[in-house]
Amino acid sequence: MNLVWIPPQTTVLGSDAHYPEEAPAREVTVDGFWIQPYQVTNAQFTEFVDATGYVTVAERPVDPDDFPGAPPENLVPGSMVFQRTAGPVDLRHLNQWWTWTPGACWNHPRGPRSSLKGREQHPVVHIAFADAENY
């Protein structure tokens, strides 16, 4: 696997001029690290899953104790799927362009009836940080 070195950097993260949740603007320093120069494709992730039997976060059963008060219909494996809108939407409300979709996961990117057919070279989606670490 070819990796590229990203040197240590300091940058300003956040903003005092936009949304309150972005404040305060502050300097953040990140250590240098190695990273793949290209996104992981569905074909590459399929090879990983086939070789290891790994099950992603979006595919795992949900523990109701982790989400007290959540409606039972939401306590199923799934992921958020992007939905096109007819026009501009209020960007403060992600539910206007993302929809919780039971059964959506890396190999069913638009929901349980979808597949990777024709998307083998597309970047893998619906991957949590834990999934990327295991990859």
Per-residue model confidence (pLDDT) at position 1 = 66
For residues 117 and 76, state if they share a domain: yes
Q: Which position has the higher pLDDT, 101 or 94?
A: 101
pLDDT tens for each residue of 62-83: 999 999 999 888 899 999 999 9
Q: Determine the structural domain holding residue 25 and report its residue range.
A: 1-37
Q: If you average pLDDT over each of 14-18, 86-90, 98-102, 122-126, which comes out highest?
A: 122-126
Is pLDDT at 107 greater than 80 in this prediction? yes
For residues 23 and 43, state if they share a domain: no
Question: Residue 86 to residues 17, 83, 89, 93, 97: CA-CA distances in angstroms?
Answer: 29, 10, 9, 15, 10
DSSP string across the chain? ---EEE--EEEEES-SSS-GGGPSPEEEEE--EEE-SSPPBHHHHHHHHHHH----GGGSPP-GGGSTT--GGGSSSEEEEE---SS---TT-GGGTEEEEET-BTTBTTSTT---TT-TTSBP-S--HHHHHH-
pTM: 0.77
For residues 71 and 29, state if they share a domain: no
**Alpha-carbon span 126 to 103, nearest angstrom:** 11
For residues 48 and 27, state if they share a domain: no
**Alpha-carbon span 103 to 125, nearest angstrom:** 13
For residues 94 and 116, state if they share a domain: yes
For residues 78 and 129, state if they share a domain: yes
- Interval 45-74 mean pLDDT: 95
- Interval 34-44 mean pLDDT: 95
- Interval 91-100 mean pLDDT: 87
For residues 33 and 45, state if they share a domain: no
Considering the chain, what is the average pLDDT of its residues?
Answer: 94
Give me the number of domains the chain comprises. Answer: 2
Location of structure tokens 């007290």: 68
Per-residue model confidence (pLDDT) at position 56 = 98
